[in-house]
Amino acid sequence: MAANQNGSTADGSRHDAPGIAVIIATYNRSHLIGETLDSVLAQTRPADELIVVNDGSTDDTAAVLRRYGDRIRIITQRNGGKSSALNCAIPQSRSRNVCIFDDDDIMLPNNLATHLQELQAHPEVGFTYCLNHVFDDTTPPDAVDKTPVKALPDVSAPRFFNWILESPFLPTPMQGMLIRRTCLEQVGLFDVELTRSQDRDMVMRLARRFRARRIPHALWALREHSGRRGPGFDGHNADERYAAWMAHKQHVFTKLRESVDIAEYVPRDIADTLVAKPRAIERYGYLQRGVIMAIHGLHECALTDLDTYLDLRDIDKHATSQAEQMLISKLAYLQAPDLALPTVYYRAIGHRCRTHPAIAPPLLRGLYWSARRDLWCKRDPHSLRMSLRRLAVIALGACHQK
């Protein structure tokens, strides 16, 4: 059922019913979906709508869903992926607030009540997000609130968008959010080209335009399991998920690079301090975008942005500011061994140190921090060796032409 521009659905009903719609897309999770639905139905503040999209499941998911009778609304479609399933359900829901939940996770009983209370108390906020527990298949559903909690910092509003962009993994999964419908209507539906990272894409679009509010409590639990991921036409096993996720994430950030103005990469509080300085916002913006591209594995884009920054620096002759030095350090900082960029990237930034020696100290400092972190945290020795190897590559690149 499609929504018209005036907010009405095709049958004339309006998207203005008070309360919460919980929407779940599911595919071949008959062994898990029941625990998820039970947790949603056990809320202290019940959902006004619980819509489940059976995305062409070939197991007995349909039979499991029928057991819930009229307590849930079932939409059945041909297998099209999570984005397609959610795009089908969102326009058909009527509540003012939307929670998009996964078919293998668990809601804690006070989840919806807490989120709704925060949204109602803060009309300036577009969506709320919260902490979560992490559990595996050895944990019974009634014990998930005893498992470890994934901590989240309370990021200020001017820095929130950049925090989302710089995070290697999405720090605010949609299962832990409650979103005003008006915000979803303004940013548009999910990208159907994505079979992974569709949540990352949507959260970035929301964070770009609306304020978020953190709830400092764990209100849901993320299940870690070895089952298959993705739709039937593009599925993969748990041990293949990193490669699939990385490819889709890079699609998301390539699209972002093409659509977001360079000034938007500068946090608003920093932009206020730079507005009187010629080219300062441009310089910071290109460096910040380069850092984001490097973090997400797009090393050629990162180098292009670094070159643009260096050209601008040559034009205006202003020294590298302390804030810029911090960003340059991040270009070389290793978040984790499996997120490391290829050696050719570190050699390339090493070469740039020859013509722009001012960037060498912060680049080397970034790798020094990586190595120090690995020593302090007693991480896998491979991570430390990788930091030291990259450090040597940058140093040699700064001394020798290709």
What angle separates helix 360-377 from helix 343-355, to the nearest 10 degrees?
A: 140
The alpha carbons of the chain give a radius of gyration, in whole angstroms, of 23
State residue 241 phi and psi, 5-degree precision. -70, -30
In three-state secondary structure terms, 375 is: helix
Rounded CA separation 132/210 (Å): 22
The token pair that represents 264 in the structure block: 């938007």
Nearest in space to 294 (alpha carbons), one of 327, 267, 255, 321: 327
Q: Which residues, at least 6 apart from 143, have a Cβ–Cβ distance to it below 8 Å?
A: 135
The pLDDT-based confidence of 354 (bands split at 50, 70, 90) is confident
CATH of region 17-250, choose from 3.90.550.10, 1.10.3470.10, 3.90.960.10, 1.25.40.10 = 3.90.550.10
Instruction: Specify the range with the lowest mean pLDDT, choosing from 6-15, 98-107, 177-186, 309-318.
Output: 6-15
Nearest in space to 362 (alpha carbons), one of 297, 309, 301, 317: 309
Q: Which residues, at least 6 apart from 391, have a Cβ–Cβ distance to it below 8 Å?
A: 364, 367, 368, 371
pLDDT recorded at residue 366: 86
The pLDDT-based confidence of 134 (bands split at 50, 70, 90) is very high
Average pLDDT over residues 13-35: 85
Q: Is the pLDDT reported for residue 402 higher than 50?
A: no
Rounded CA separation 156/211 (Å): 10
- pTM attached to this predicted model: 0.86
Instruction: Specify the range with the lowest mean pLDDT, choosing from 69-83, 340-354, 367-381, 388-402.
Output: 388-402
DSSP codes joined into one string, 213-270: EEEEEEEEEEEE--S-BS-GGG-B-GGGHHHHHHHHHHHHHHHHHHHS-GGGGS-HHH
The pLDDT-based confidence of 68 (bands split at 50, 70, 90) is very high
The token pair that represents 24 in the structure block: 């779940």
The residues spanned by each domain of the chain are 17-250, 261-399
**What residues form DSSP beta bridges with 221?**
106, 133
109, burial (CB in 10 Å: exposed 0-12, middle 13-18, buried 19+): middle
